[in-house]
Amino acid sequence: MATDESTTFVKNPFLIIATSVLTSGAMASSCFFSRAESVAHTSNGLLPGNDSLINDLIAASYRLAGWPGADWARAFVVFFPCCLFLVLIGFSARGLSSRLLGTLFFITSVAAVAWGTSDAMRARKNDIRDLRLLVPVELFEAAVQSGGRVFVNLPSYAHAALLAPSLFARLPSPELNRKMCATLPIWREEDRREPFSALIFTGNRITEIRPLVESLSSNWYLARTDNHGLLYLRGNPATKELAGDPNSFSDPRSKAIFLSQSALVLNAINRQAEARQMMQKSIEVFPADSNVLVNSAMLAASQKRWPQTQKNAESALHLTPDSVQARYLLALALLESNFISQAATESARLIRQNPLDPQILQLQARISEANNDFTAEIDALERLLALETKANQATSPIHLYLGQAWARKGFASQALANYESALQGSLSPLQKSEIQSAIQNIQQKSGPTQTADH
pLDDT tens across 153-189, in order? 888 888 898 998 888 887 888 788 878 877 888 888 9
| Strand 198-202 relative to strand 229-234, pairing | antiparallel
Residue 446 is predicted with a pLDDT of 66
Single out the residue of 142, 135, 179 nearest to residue 46, CA to CA.
135
Q: Give 451's pLDDT tier (boundaries 50, 70, 90).
A: very low
% of the chain beyond a pLDDT of 70: 95
Pair 118, 16 in one domain: yes
Phi, psi for residue 242 in degrees, rounded to 5 = -95, 145
Q: Give 147's pLDDT tier (boundaries 50, 70, 90).
A: confident
Per the structure, the count of domains in the chain is 4
Whether 350 maps to a domain, the answer reads: no
Pair 237, 258 in one domain: no
Q: Give 348's pLDDT tier (boundaries 50, 70, 90).
A: very high
The CA-based diameter of the chain, rounded to the nearest angstrom, is 80
Pair 139, 173 in one domain: yes
Whether 438 maps to a domain, the answer reads: yes
Pair 110, 188 in one domain: no
Cβ atoms of 324 and 353 within 8 Å: the answer is yes
Q: Average pLDDT, whole number, for the chain?
A: 88
Pair 11, 90 in one domain: yes
Residue 9 is predicted with a pLDDT of 60
Where in the sequence is the domain holding 106, given as residue range(s)? 2-127
Residue 392 is predicted with a pLDDT of 79
d(CA 103, CA 93): 9
Pair 13, 99 in one domain: yes
Pair 193, 275 in one domain: no
Whether 111 maps to a domain, the answer reads: yes
On the question of pLDDT at 43 being above 60, the answer is: yes
Q: Give 85's pLDDT tier (boundaries 50, 70, 90).
A: very high
Pair 17, 43 in one domain: yes
pLDDT in tens, 387-398: 998 877 888 889
The H or E element containing residue 151 is strand 150-152
Pair 277, 213 in one domain: no
pLDDT in tens, 114-127: 999 999 998 888 88
On the question of pLDDT at 295 being above 90, the answer is: yes
Average pLDDT on 439-445 reads 83
Pair 9, 90 in one domain: yes
Residue 345 is predicted with a pLDDT of 94
Q: What is the CATH number of the domain that holds 263?
A: 1.25.40
Q: Give 8's pLDDT tier (boundaries 50, 70, 90).
A: low
Single out the residue of 31, 20, 5, 13 nearest to residue 99, CA to CA.
5
pLDDT in tens, 370-386: 999 999 999 999 999 99
315: left (phi over 0), alpha (psi -120 to 50) or beta: alpha
Whether 389 maps to a domain, the answer reads: no
Whether 384 maps to a domain, the answer reads: no
Pair 142, 226 in one domain: yes
Whether 141 maps to a domain, the answer reads: yes
Whether 328 maps to a domain, the answer reads: no
Residue finishing a domain among 105, 127, 149? 127
Question: Which is more confident, 434 or 69?
Answer: 69
d(CA 41, CA 183): 29
Pair 175, 215 in one domain: yes
Residue 1 is predicted with a pLDDT of 41
Burial 310-334 (b: 16+ CB within 10 A, else e): bbbbbbbbebbeebbbbbbbbbbbb
Whether 332 maps to a domain, the answer reads: no
On the question of pLDDT at 47 being above 90, the answer is: no
pLDDT in tens, 230-285: 999 888 776 677 778 888 898 999 999 999 999 999 998 888 999 999 999 999 99
